[in-house]
């Protein structure tokens, strides 16, 4: 593999063991080259300015400092992947245009998703700088790597995304479309520092959160996952789930009541969730047509 095909990265984490683990995991991806490491904010500033990496894996908690303090010191061309043991900082990470947000302990399959996005993004940047007519294969992932990632993505159930009508992840078209969920199926989700299988039937509703979505699970708190609203709508069983707003999908089994609101819109009250969700006029019309 030639040098121009590789994506350089710097690992910034005050935990030596975390850096070692991430280093080991990233070595499984020949497209990724770790060009430096840092355990403190001061050293991190020096190394990103010296190496000018394509990407940075950045821990949010750096001793008494925050990884967010480094963001303005990193080139806009460098993609930032935040790392944290907590969900608390995810929304702020999105607001500074992070490429992704990984929870500790980092899972190999979840990291594979991130690497796929990172390489895809770097590929597009290099193509635009080099030649608009350059073929994807010149800088992109080779066929074997695409097939491997395809297998991972087919099994990965910890993926969500934005609220737009188009899926902004832009996966390789070679990756097959994922199967539809049945109401009794289980999906794999990480929350409360544990990896769990939850039933589709236990999902009360789903709301969009920029490049992620919140899944409200019966008997548990809401969980932030990386999967698009478009994908949720396509894969969830339509007889059980309905989109009531551009940013909300609800499980019909958990809807307690629907009240008229203003301008031909409605308020939808979902079991175990204190605040009602708005159902726009557009989706109310669609729902009425569906249940005629």
**Average of per-residue pLDDT across 204-208:** 94
Give the 3-state secondary structure of residue 267. strand
Cβ-contact 57, 39 below 8 angstroms: no
Reported as a single tens digit per residue, the pLDDT across 262-288 is 777 899 999 999 899 999 888 888 887
With a cut of 80, say whether residue 172 has pLDDT above it: no
- Report the chain's mean pLDDT, rounded to a whole number: 79
pLDDT at site 140: 38
**What does the pLDDT look like over 120-133, one tens digit per residue?**
877 766 555 554 44
Q: How far is residue 49's CA from residue 111's CA, in Å, rounded to a whole number? A: 25
**Region 186-290: CATH code:** 2.40.50.1020
Angle at 225 between CA 224 and CA 227, to 5 degrees: 140
How sure is the predictor about 236, in pLDDT bands with cuts at 50, 70 and 90? very high
Question: What integer pLDDT is reported at residue 161 of this predicted model?
Answer: 35
What six digits make up the tokens of 273? Answer: 């969730």
pLDDT attached to residue 263: 75
Domain segments of the chain as ranges: 3-155, 186-290
Contact call for residues 53 and 8 (beta carbons, < 8 A): yes
Residues 42-63 pLDDT 10s:
999 999 999 999 999 999 988 8
Q: What is the predicted pLDDT for the residue at 175?
A: 36
pTM for this predicted structure = 0.49
Q: How many CA atoms are closer than 13 Å to the CA of 156, on its beta-carbon side?
A: 25
Is there a shared CATH topology between the 3-155 domain and the 186-290 domain?
no
Residue 243, beta-bridge partner list: 249
Please write the tens of the pLDDT for every residue from 142-169.
444 434 443 333 333 333 333 333 333 3
Contact 96, 73 (CB under 8 A): no
Q: Cβ distance 255 to 267 under 8 Å?
A: no
Comparing 177 with 84, the larger pLDDT belongs to 84
Of residues 250 and 164, more confidence is placed in 250
Q: Could you tell me which residues come within 8 angstroms of residue 83 by beta carbon, excluding any fewer than 6 positions away?
A: 13, 18, 22, 57, 58, 59, 60, 102, 103, 104, 106
> Dihedral sign, CA of 106, 110, 116, 118?
negative
Name the superfamily (CATH) of residues 3-155: Response regulator (3.40.50.2300)
Instruction: Name which residue leads in pLDDT, 206 or 175.
Output: 206
Q: CA–CA separation, 276 vs 258, rounded Å?
A: 9
pLDDT higher than 80, residue 11: yes
Question: Could you report the per-residue pLDDT of 74-124, keeping only the tens digit for each?
Answer: 988 899 999 988 777 777 887 788 888 888 888 888 898 889 889 887 776
Q: Residue 194 — very low, low, confident or very high, per pLDDT cuts 50/70/90?
A: low
Burial class (CB in 10 A: 0-12, 13-18, 19+), 61: middle
pLDDT value, residue 292 = 67
8-state DSSP, 216:
E
């Amino acid at each position: 593999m030639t040098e121009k095909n590789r994506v350089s990265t710097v690992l910034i984490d005050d935990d030596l063991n975390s850096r070692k683990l991430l280093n080991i995991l990233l070595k499984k991806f020949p497209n990724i080259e770790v060009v430096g490491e840092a355990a403190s904010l001061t050293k991190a500033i020096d190394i990103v300015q010296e190496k000018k990496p394509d990407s940075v894996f950045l821990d949010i908690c750096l001793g008494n400092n925050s990884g967010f303090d480094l963001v303005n010191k990193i080139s806009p061309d460098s993609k930032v992947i935040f790392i944290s043991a907590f969900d608390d900082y995810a929304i702020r990470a999105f607001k500074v245009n992070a490429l992704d947000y990984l929870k500790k302990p980092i899972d190999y399959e979840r990291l594979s998703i991130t690497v796929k996005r990172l390489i895809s993004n770097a590929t597009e940047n290099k193509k635009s700088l080099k030649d608009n007519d350059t073929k994807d294969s010149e800088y992109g992932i080779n066929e074997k790597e695409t097939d491997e990632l395809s297998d991972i993505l087919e099994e990965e159930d910890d993926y969500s995304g934005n609220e737009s009508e188009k899926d902004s992840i832009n996966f390789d078209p070679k990756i097959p479309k994922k199967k539809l969920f049945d109401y009794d199926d289980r999906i794999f989700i990480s929350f409360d520092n544990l990896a769990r299988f939850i039933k589709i039937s236990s999902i009360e509703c789903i709301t969009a959160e920029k490049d992620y979505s919140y899944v409200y699970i019966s008997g548990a708190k809401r969980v932030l996952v990386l999967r698009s609203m478009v994908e949720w709508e396509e894969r969830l069983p339509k007889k059980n789930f309905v989109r009531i707003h551009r940013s909300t999908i609800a499980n019909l089994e958990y809807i307690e009541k629907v009240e008229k609101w203003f301008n031909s819109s409605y308020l939808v009250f979902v079991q175990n969730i204190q605040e009602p969700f708005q159902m726009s006029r557009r989706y109310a019309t669609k729902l009425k047509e569906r249940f005629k």
